[in-house]
Structure 1
Amino acid sequence: MNTQWKQTFAIIFSGQLFSILTSSMVQFSIIWHLTEKTESAAVLMVAGLAAFLPQALLGPFIGVWLDRWNRKKTMIVADSSIAFCSLLLGAYFFLGEPSLGVVYAILMIRSTASAFHAPAFQASIPLIAPEDQLTRVAGWHQMVFSFSNVIGPALGIAVYSATSLGTVLFLDVIGALLANLMLMLVTIHQPKPETIQKSSFFLEFKLGWQEFVTVKPIVIITIATAIFGIVFMPLATLFPLMTLSHFGRGGTSASIVEAVFSIGMIVGGALLSVLASKFKDTTYMSFSLVLIGFTCVLSGVIDSKAFIGFVFLSFLMGAAAPLFNGPYMAMIQKAYEPERLGRVISFVTSITLLSSPIGLVLAGPVVDRYGVQQWFFWSGVVIVFTGLFIGYKFKSRNR
């Protein structure tokens, strides 16, 4: 039995490796395409809103259905929808340059599908892995995600430069289909839906919210995560602009930054999987945010000639990320019953994602007026204090 669950994850993660890899290629290629064509932070922020807002708005409602739907089938349908969107946008690029409106619309549809896939995947993990292994599995997931993102930007910019964005999008279709094939090879037992008298959508929605707020530490950390998301999430779309506008470098240098960030995430994920039970989950999270914050502050003051220094800071930032994401999700998976976990994860994901549009709306005009380094610096200050708050608030907790 101990070996069986590991084999199941090996199959699932091998499929996710291809899907995340091609998605990373698409994500970086689209951001670089918009950066190169417009050099506008406002355009990048609108693209970020299109990519995040549907997940944030739909998440709480999806969670209600997710605890009753088959989670494996939900992931397959969602990935198939993402593949269709990539196919459609790829066809647009082969026929001619699509308008920004078309790009934004496709990003929104992909985001809608992701709103189903991500919580379905996270809610499936406790149905496969033993509870005492959830933090370790989170480390594996971070490693798979990070490995795909190491070579994703480099491959994306290589294919984009040699052919077109349309070709990159077609490769994403293949990645999604491979992920679905691997999912079809495994069994994920569906939890028995809880019995609710006079069940209705709004009643279950209310019960999901009530379940979420019963675990106060999760509520507190989720609020801290939302603050973190407001200032940090815009950086995902600002890295290429930082490379282009501050350092005066092109797509290859931008892909190197993305790759080094992801190499750092591999190191951090590996460290988490080895040291999973050595420290409290909140200790990992506090340390992660403080380190991320310091790297952002230093990035905000770094000289335009010190590109290598920025690359090193990106590595440290990436290494710190899994030390927050993995333990945070493991805490949630341990705290709630499997039959209610889908809606809780959807709530948490939505609260986190809703912070992203707020940050994107704020970041666009600030960066266009004051420069990208200002956002790096002040976001770092906020993140450091958020990490110190978590460390102080939970210093006496056992786990």
Structure 2
Amino acid sequence: MNKAGSSFGKFLFLWSGQFISAIGSGLTSFGLGIYVLQMTGQTSAMALVTLLAFMPSLLLSPVAGVLADRYDRRLLMVLGDSLSATGLIYILICMLNGGAQLWQICIGVTVSSVFSSLLDPAYKATITDMLTEEQYTKASGFVQIAGSAKYLISPLIAGLLLAVADVELLLIIDICTFFVTMPATLVVRSGLVSKKSEQPQAFIQEFKEGWKAVSGRRGVLILVIMTSVMTFFIGFIETLAMPMILAFSNSTVLGTLETVMASGMLVSSAIIGALSIRRNFVRMLAVSLFCSGLSIAAFGLRENVILIGLSGFLFFAMLPFTNTALDYLVRTNIDNSVQGRAWSLIGLLSQFGFVAAYMLAGVLADYVFTPLLVQGGVLADSVGRIIGTGSGRGMGLLIIIAGLLLSAASIIISRLKSIHSLENRGGPCITE
């Protein structure tokens, strides 16, 4: 086997551990979401848990990026994976002692998120360590298959397990996945040297270098800003899909729908993994985002299982094309020596949209849009005649609005010359 093939083989071994870990994380996410909704009856409570599971990892990602460029990236992945399990263990102990309260779940997911922050920058930078530029898009397809596991495989397994057991079993399975991911990471670590800076610098200096890598090319910076806008709109469907479906169905239907919808990501990720896409990444980004927005709008239109399943499938099918285009355009315009810092800052800036969505979606749904579309609500006799009325229709309207705005954002992206210049790395850069 040639060197490139051997490197890709190591990547696949590392990826297999992350694939299993993603399944475990998906089990916990699905189980805790239903647990909190049943306990509180509030979408805003579930959104709070989602926010606390996400925001600490996001805010700490710049520090994690510096560590990924300074220290052994595979060792950081092991530490992050193992220490993040402590938060889940805390929630499990609370549940076994009579049931976890909302504040206890919030503490547990926050602790888990803090240590999980070590994982993503180190993992992405390790991929760059391992592979050649020609292998990036293929690797991106595989990475997205692993990412889709929490939506494709986990809901189906969780739905079946919850029919015969409680959420505690899902937490136990997630905790145990560490014993699979750690050996895979350590095996890959052997014989692989991180491509990092030879002279460690002060953290603040390394932050500055990471920021310079992101802002030094105008197209990269604008793309990151536009990605934050995109994640804001996508965050609404991530927050509201579960309570919207549960408003007229049950957890079994929810789990089945999530599996059907996420299969779109699996299909398109497999296609991307099998192909070598080498051009037209900006066009692919704009078209996939436009179609994603229309799919989101259709998702919230009616309380119809078939329509929700089909539109959700199309939405997930578009995401790998969007992510692959973003990944390639950024990765090929940033020097490898600062990739850890750059990816962490990109994650911080681009995913602020999710934070804003998680903070707003539940509150808007519970206190503004749901009252508008229940029987006798202000919009019941107007908008309600089109999309229906009931406890889940306000969330549906919010999702429709988010989808249409996402499609509008994709049109703006397709017209920005600075983003088109990223496909020609000889284009102009910002100078200090």
Determine if contact 1:83/1:177 at 8 Å carries over to the other structure: no
Determine if contact 1:90/1:167 at 8 Å carries over to the other structure: no
Hey, what's the Cα distance between the residues in 1 that align with 2:92 and 2:163? 15
- CA positional deviation for 1:366: 1.5
List, as ranges, runs of 4+ consecutive aligned residues in structure 1 with deviation greater than 4 Å: 394-399
Hey, what's the Cα distance between the residues in 1 that align with 2:97 and 2:36? 18
- CA positional deviation for 1:278: 5.1
After TM superposition, the score normalised by the length of structure 2 is 0.87
Q: One-letter code of the match for 1:375?
A: L
Match of residue 388 from structure 2: none
2:23 to 3, 21, 24: 21
Q: One-letter code of the match for 2:358?
A: L
Match of residue 299 from structure 1: 299
Match of residue 56 from structure 1: 58
Matched, 1:33 2:35: yes
Instruction: Give the number of aligned pairs.
Output: 393
Secondary structure class of the residue paired with 1:15: helix
1:331-382 Cα offsets, whole Å, 9 max, x none, are 2222222220001000011112322121122212221121101211110111
Match of residue 206 from structure 1: 208
Which stretch shifts more, 15-24 or 141-150?
A: 141-150
Secondary structure class of the residue paired with 2:193: coil
Correspondences of 1:298-317 after superposition (within 5 Å): 298-302=298-302, 304=303, 306-317=304-315
- Give unmatched runs, 5+ long, in structure 1: none
1:194 and 1:95, CA in 2 relative to 1: closer, same or farther beyond 3 A? same
Match of residue 271 from structure 1: 271
Q: One-letter code of the match for 2:264?
A: G
Match of residue 379 from structure 2: none
- CA positional deviation for 1:265: 0.5
Matched, 1:191 2:195: yes
Secondary structure class of the residue paired with 2:300: helix
1:97-127 Cα offsets, whole Å, 9 max, x none, are 1110110111111111221101110111111
Hey, what's the Cα distance between the residues in 1 that align with 2:199 and 2:187? 30
1:252-276 Cα offsets, whole Å, 9 max, x none, are 1111221122211011212222344
Q: One-letter code of the match for 1:235?
A: I
Correspondences of 1:207-286 after superposition (within 5 Å): 207-245=209-247, 248-277=248-277, 279-286=279-286
2:401 to 368, 374, 378: 378
- CA positional deviation for 1:23: 0.8
Q: One-letter code of the match for 1:382?
A: L
Which stretch shifts more, 285-294 or 229-238?
A: 229-238
Match of residue 415 from structure 2: 392
Q: One-letter code of the match for 1:146?
A: S
Matched, 1:358 2:335: no
Determine if contact 2:239/2:358 at 8 Å carries over to the other structure: no
2:326 to 320, 325, 328: 328
Secondary structure class of the residue paired with 2:100: coil
Q: One-letter code of the match for 2:267?
A: V
- CA positional deviation for 1:39: 2.5
1:6-35 Cα offsets, whole Å, 9 max, x none, are 210221122112111111111111112112
Determine if contact 2:282/2:420 at 8 Å carries over to the other structure: no
Hey, what's the Cα distance between the residues in 2 that align with 1:361 and 1:396? 33
Secondary structure class of the residue paired with 2:351: helix
Match of residue 108 from structure 2: 106
Hey, what's the Cα distance between the residues in 2 that align with 1:288 and 1:114? 29
Determine if contact 1:91/1:166 at 8 Å carries over to the other structure: no
Match of residue 46 from structure 2: 44
Q: One-letter code of the match for 1:376?
A: I
Match of residue 374 from structure 2: none
- CA positional deviation for 1:161: 3.2
Hey, what's the Cα distance between the residues in 1 that align with 2:206 and 2:346? 16
Match of residue 165 from structure 1: 167
Determine if contact 2:121/2:343 at 8 Å carries over to the other structure: yes
Q: One-letter code of the match for 1:272?
A: I
Hey, what's the Cα distance between the residues in 1 that align with 2:138 and 2:84? 28
Hey, what's the Cα distance between the residues in 1 that align with 2:65 and 2:215? 15
Correspondences of 1:123-138 after superposition (within 5 Å): 123-138=125-140
What is the percentage of aligned positions where both structures have the same residue? 22
Q: One-letter code of the match for 1:334?
A: T
Hey, what's the Cα distance between the residues in 1 that align with 2:198 and 2:284? 34
Match of residue 119 from structure 2: 117
Determine if contact 1:140/1:273 at 8 Å carries over to the other structure: yes
- CA positional deviation for 1:141: 1.0
Determine if contact 2:226/2:350 at 8 Å carries over to the other structure: no
Matched, 1:89 2:91: yes
Q: One-letter code of the match for 1:264?
A: G
Compare CA radii of gyration and give the structure with the larger one: 2
Q: Higher relative CO (CA 8 A, sep ≥ 6), structure 1 or 2?
A: 1
Hey, what's the Cα distance between the residues in 2 that align with 1:323 and 1:25? 25
Determine if contact 1:25/1:156 at 8 Å carries over to the other structure: yes
Determine if contact 2:92/2:171 at 8 Å carries over to the other structure: yes
- Give unmatched runs, 5+ long, in structure 2: 370-393, 425-432
Correspondences of 1:134-149 after superposition (within 5 Å): 134-149=136-151
Hey, what's the Cα distance between the residues in 2 that align with 1:54 and 1:266? 28
